[in-house]
């Protein structure tokens, strides 16, 4: 038996600014970190560095946060989504980051591998918790930004009295500027957001490229949001759904495996690449903007401006091999995508 949940309080929590990594050892008892646990409302649900000067870079020091990052709440959600429908037509590289309330449970039992353990850890926490923020940054294939706003920070409903969270993670996010009272009163309803996202031209599109950093949890929350359901029990089923909604994903942390001189988290990588942050760390908009910058800088410096899709596309750092796990699923995927598109068409009528 596996994927049972222990709620004892003896392991330090991983903060949401870092992507959770555990040893994933087989079958030993694993317990959850200290966490605030309101009443549960359901089950647990390659390269060498080379010098170059041609990289397009936003003059970050000269740009105010509010000039490029748009705060989105329930009141302006539909207006901003209309803008995104237009933006994505010309700027189809989307850097993404989420903020979520930490890691509060850990699975216990026997696992086939450390990768299986990591997925079950992700699944249990994503099923149980709520997304707090989503950041989307739009660029074109050259890493160039649209004029004016290029990043949207979506702020979702979150209630510190009713929703589960890790206290350490909430403290970190509050210290990073998140306004939890405003999230409770003015936050976006996830179902409404999912409806708008499904019809935005952002998901289910082969030409849209997603850029992320150590993004298993990020995409876990996105799949949960778009399907309005728990994540699949098996990792290969998760990747099947993931690849329907997000056909092209590049995880910067996974790309770093082929970059000998790069290590650490997003901010450490940005420092090594001499990138300057706009906005505050541990906010989804700023982190997504920095993720996009890092991808295009790495693409030029380490990959000679050409990423090998067969090697890197669809891989998420810390999880399985992603697209490599898909065997003889093309027909089924096409049929399932057509079913989803039919649902979208009905929503639009």
Domain spans, the chain:
4-9+23-43+68-348
Domain 4-9+23-43+68-348 part of CATH 3.40.630.30: no
pTM, to two decimals: 0.79
d(CA 72, CA 135): 10
What count of other Cβ atoms lies within 10 Å of the Cβ of residue 67?
12
d(CA 346, CA 211): 30
Q: In the prediction, which pLDDT does 38 show?
A: 42
Do strands 69-72 and 151-155 pair parallel, antiparallel, or not at all (unpaired)? parallel
Q: Mean pLDDT of successive 10-residue segments in the chain (349 residues)?
A: 44 41 36 41 38 39 66 98 98 98 93 91 97 98 95 98 96 96 98 97 96 96 96 93 95 92 93 94 96 96 90 89 49 63 53
Nearest in space to 292 (alpha carbons), one of 335, 321, 250: 250
Q: In the prediction, which pLDDT does 17 show?
A: 40
């Amino acid at each position: 038996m596996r994927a049972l949940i222990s709620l004892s309080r003896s392991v330090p929590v991983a903060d949401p600014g870092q992507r959770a990594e555990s040893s994933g050892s087989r079958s030993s008892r694993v317990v959850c970190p200290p966490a605030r646990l309101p009443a549960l409302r359901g089950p647990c649900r390659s390269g060498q560095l080379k010098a170059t000067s041609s990289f397009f870079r936003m003059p970050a020091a000269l740009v105010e946060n509010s000039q490029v990052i748009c705060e989105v709440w329930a009141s302006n959600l539909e207006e901003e989504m209309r803008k995104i429908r237009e933006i994505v037509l010309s700027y189809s590289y989307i850097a993404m980051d989420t903020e979520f309330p930490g890691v509060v449970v850990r699975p216990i039992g026997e696992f086939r591998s450390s990768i299986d353990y990591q997925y079950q850890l992700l699944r249990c926490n994503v099923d149980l918790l709520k997304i707090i923020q989503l950041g989307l940054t739009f660029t074109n294939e050259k890493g160039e930004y649209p004029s004016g706003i290029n990043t949207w920070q979506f702020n979702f409903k979150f209630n510190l009295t009713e929703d589960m969270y890790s206290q350490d993670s909430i403290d970190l996010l509050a210290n990073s500027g998140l306004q939890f009272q405003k999230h409770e009163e003015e936050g976006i309803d996830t179902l409404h957001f999912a409806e708008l996202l499904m019809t935005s031209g952002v998901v289910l599109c082969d030409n849209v490229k997603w850029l992320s950093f150590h993004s298993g949890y990020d995409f876990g929350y996105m799949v949960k949001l778009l399907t309005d359901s728990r994540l699949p029990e098996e990792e290969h089923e998760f990747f099947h759904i993931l690849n329907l909604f997000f056909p092209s994903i590049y995880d910067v942390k996974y790309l770093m495996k082929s970059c000998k001189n790069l290590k650490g988290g997003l901010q450490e990588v940005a420092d090594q690449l001499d990138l300057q942050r706009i906005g505050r760390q541990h906010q989804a908009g700023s982190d997504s903007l920095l993720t996009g910058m890092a991808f295009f800088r790495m693409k030029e410096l380490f990959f000679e401006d050409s990423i090998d899709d067969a090697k890197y596309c669809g891989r998420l750092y810390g999880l399985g091999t992603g697209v490599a796990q898909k065997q003889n699923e093309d027909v089924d995927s096409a049929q399932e995508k057509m079913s989803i598109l039919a649902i979208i068409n009905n929503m639009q009528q």
